[in-house]
């Protein structure tokens, strides 16, 4: 039986992620864990996350999750979700600029208090179902139509400009990186575990992806 380790560093509800993985990949064990040996022993790894980046990065560093993520992503697939994706970027404007794991060069920025689409003021957080345009072919997009909607909830976003790793783009006042991909890592700003059929398909694809 294959194992997917869902890294538990104390930030947020991991129940949904593990249940969704078990739902789409019945022959896979979803293991919510902070134990480095269990994470090293897994076939695939998911880095989730909600909450403020300063708290997330503090826990990630304290538990040496940053080193683990670098290590395991060398030879197996890794999926970052929401703040788990933001943590893989270089740094985040949240909490007065916080250094992140820096596996991707992009910066994470605040939507701002005056986000607009033409004359219309936009609410922040960006909360709800938005379209994701696939800008890169990837096995994790298999059987998911272009411009499919996924569920987002976030106030900070990874820059889409000059982002060579961007795999999916979404527009909300600004263009943002909804997904990035390089080598064994695929990371998404939205919540696949809460995105109904499209999200479950993405998790299924990830569970079947053997990596780059």
Partner 1 sequence: MALAKRIIPCLDVDKGRVVKGVNFVDIRDAGDPVEVARKYNEQGADEITFLDITASHESRDTTYETVERMASEVFIPLTVGGGVRTVDDIRKLLNAGADKVGINTAAVFNPGFVQEAAGRFGSQCIVVAIDAKRVSAAGEAPRWEIFTHGGRKPTGLDAVAWAMKMTEMGAGELLLTSMDRDGTKIGFDNGLTRAVSDAVPVPVIASGGVGELQHLVDGITRGGADAVLAASIFHFGQFTIPEAKAFMKAQGIEVRD
Which residues are known to be catalytic? 82, 191, 193
How distant is the alpha carbon of residue 71 from its chain centre?
18
Quick check: 105 binds partner 1 (CB under 8 A)?
Answer: no
* Count of positions on this chain that bind partner 1 (CB under 8 A): 37
By the rule CB under 8 A, 171 interacts with partner 1: yes
In the window 54-93, what residues touch partner 1 (CB under 8 A)?
Answer: none
19 neighbors 4 (Cβ within 8 angstroms): no
How far does CA 142 lie from the centroid of its chain? Answer: 17
Describe the crossing of helices 65-72 and 53-62 by its angle, rounded to 10 degrees: 80
- Closest approach of Cβ 7 to partner 1, in Å? 17
The residue from 12, 77, 84, 168 that contacts partner 1 (CB under 8 A) is 12
Binding to partner 1 by residue 116, rule CB under 8 A? Answer: no
Q: Which is nearer to partner 1, 184 or 195 (CB)?
A: 195
State in angstroms the smallest separation of the CB of 62 from partner 1: 18
CB of 128 to partner 1, least distance (A): 5
Does 204 sit near partner 1 (CB under 8 A)? no
Cβ proximity to partner 1: between 63 and 122 the closer is: 122
* Shortest distance, position 127 Cβ to partner 1, whole Å: 5
Binder to partner 1 among 62, 74, 105, 147 (CB under 8 A)?
147
Task: Please report, to the nearest 10 degrees, the dihedral formed by the alpha carbons of residues 46, 177, 204, 2 taken in order.
Answer: -20
Residue among 49 and 77 whose Cβ is closer to partner 1: 49
What is the C-alpha separation between 165 and 194, in angstroms, rounded? 24
* Peptide bond before residue 125 is cis, with ω within 30 degrees of 0: yes
Residue 83 burial by Cβ neighbours in a 10 Å radius (0-12, 13-18, 19+) = buried
- Ramachandran angles phi, psi of 164, nearest 5°: -65, -15
Q: Give the C-alpha separation, 191 to 136, whole Å.
A: 19
Of 35, 99, 123, 212, which lies in the binding site for partner 1, with binding defined by CB under 8 A? Answer: 123
For 69, the token pair is 């993520």
Which tokens sit at 44? Answer: 């695939």
Half-sphere exposure of 44 (CA within 13 A, CB side): 27
Residue 125 found at the interface with partner 1 (CB under 8 A): yes
Question: Contact positions toward partner 1, by CB under 8 A?
Answer: 12-13, 15-16, 19-20, 23, 50-52, 113, 117, 122-131, 147, 149, 151, 153-155, 171-172, 191, 193-196, 199-200
């Amino acid at each position: 039986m294959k194992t997917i380790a869902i890294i538990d560093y104390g930030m947020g509800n991991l129940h949904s992620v593990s249940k969704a993985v078990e739902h789409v990949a019945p022959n896979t064990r979803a293991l919510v864990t902070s134990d480095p040996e269990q994470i090293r022993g897994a076939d695939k790894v998911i880095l989730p996350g909600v909450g403020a980046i300063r708290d997330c990065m503090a826990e990630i560093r304290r538990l040496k999750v940053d080193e683990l993520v670098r290590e395991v992503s060398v030879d197996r697939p890794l999926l970052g979700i929401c703040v788990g994706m933001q943590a893989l970027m270089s740094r985040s404007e949240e909490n007065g600029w916080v250094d992140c794991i820096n596996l991707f060069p992009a910066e994470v920025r605040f939507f701002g208090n005056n986000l607009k689409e033409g004359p219309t003021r936009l609410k922040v957080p960006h909360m709800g179902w938005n379209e994701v345009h696939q800008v890169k072919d990837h096995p994790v997009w298999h059987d998911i139509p272009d411009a499919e909607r996924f569920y987002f909830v976030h106030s900070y976003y990874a820059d889409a400009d000059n982002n060579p790793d961007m795999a999916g783009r979404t527009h909300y006042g600004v263009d943002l990186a909804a997904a990035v991909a390089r080598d064994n890592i695929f990371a998404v700003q939205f919540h696949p575990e809460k995105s109904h059929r499209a999200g479950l398909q993405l998790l299924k694809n990830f569970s079947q992806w053997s990596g780059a």
